Structures are given as C-alpha cells and as structure tokens.
Amino acid sequence: MSIQGFNATGVQEITAAAGVPKGSFYNYFDSKEAFAVAVLTEYWAAVVAEYGAILDQDRKPPLSRIARYFAGLAEFHERRRYAVGCLIGNMALEVTPKSEDVRIKLAAIYREWSTALASCLREAQKKGELSAGKNPEQLAVALIDTFEGAVMRAKVERSRAPFDSFERFVLPSLLT
C-alpha cells in the first residue's frame, strides 16, 4: 500500500505478501478499510516509537528538539529516496473521500501528532524560546501541515529540496 497506494493494492496482494490464504483476511478484518485503519495504527506507532522521544528529551532546548524531530522525519523519507511519501498523507488524499473509518483514524493521528508538538512548543514558551504571543496548538498544526506538504513535494520531485526549504525557511519563520 505504501508503494502502490490503497486502491491499487488488492486483498490478494496483501494476503500473498503476508503468506496467508486470501479467505483468512476477512477472519481478521471486516473490510479492506478496516485493514487500512490497522495499517495506519501500526505506522503511527512506529513513527512515535522512532521519533517521538526526540520531543521529550529534557536536556535539549525545546525548539532544537522540534527541529531535530522534523530532520529525523526528513531523513526517513531520504532513506526511501522520497519515492513513498508519508502513509498518513497518502491515505488522507486517497482514501478519506471514500472511507469514514479511515478519515476518523487519520484525524486522531493528526490530533495526537499536534498534541505532542504543542506540548514541546508550550515548554519553549515557558523557557522563553518562543514568543508568548504564539498559540502552540495552532503552530503545531501549521508545522504538520507545511511538513506534510514538503513530504508530498519531495515525493513528486524525488528530492530533498522541499525538506531543506522547510528546515531553512518554514521552521525559523514559525518558531521565532
């Protein structure tokens, strides 16, 4: 699904990749959309496990942690040669018009993501790194939205340039 997309990946391909009979798919999932929700759950858990702790490293300044967090996510896409994109963004574009369950799962992921960033941004405000006039919740959403746009463009261009732009221009302008 990461490579071909949700619609282009059939249940037969999924079960073949898992090495199980096609009929057993429906023993575990009510539908392909239910499978997509499970995949998103696992994907997000892996992202949090790999990068979430960066935001919680108390010994480093909060804004440095946020920059490192997004740099780590950019490196993840670089290792995949920018060809795959973000499963969250891909599913948001491809599946949400047709599946309310997937849309609800994605909305929950975005809320969790923005909550983690907003917490770090509030800490930055308390330490005087971030202007008290900035709204951490709105800023967190803006960071995610612009980063996801960079992911999409990097996928199209197969280039790190959108991440460099995000790191050089977007982060400094939003976080000062």
What pLDDT score does 1 carry? 87
Residue pair 168/145 in contact by the 8 Å Cβ criterion: no
DSSP assignments along 12-60, one per residue:
HHHHHHHTS-GGGHHHH-SSHHHHHHHHHHHHHHHHHHHHGGGGG-TTS
- Select 32-174's CATH number: 3.20.20.70, 3.90.580.10, 1.10.1740.10, 1.10.357.10: 1.10.357.10
117: CB partners within 8 A, 6+ apart: 55, 66, 69, 136, 139, 140, 143, 144
pLDDT over 90 (residue 48): yes
- Residues 91-129: pLDDT tens digits? 999 998 889 999 999 999 999 999 999 999 999 999 999
Question: Average per-residue pLDDT in the chain?
Answer: 95
What pLDDT score does 97 carry? 86
pLDDT over 90 (residue 176): no
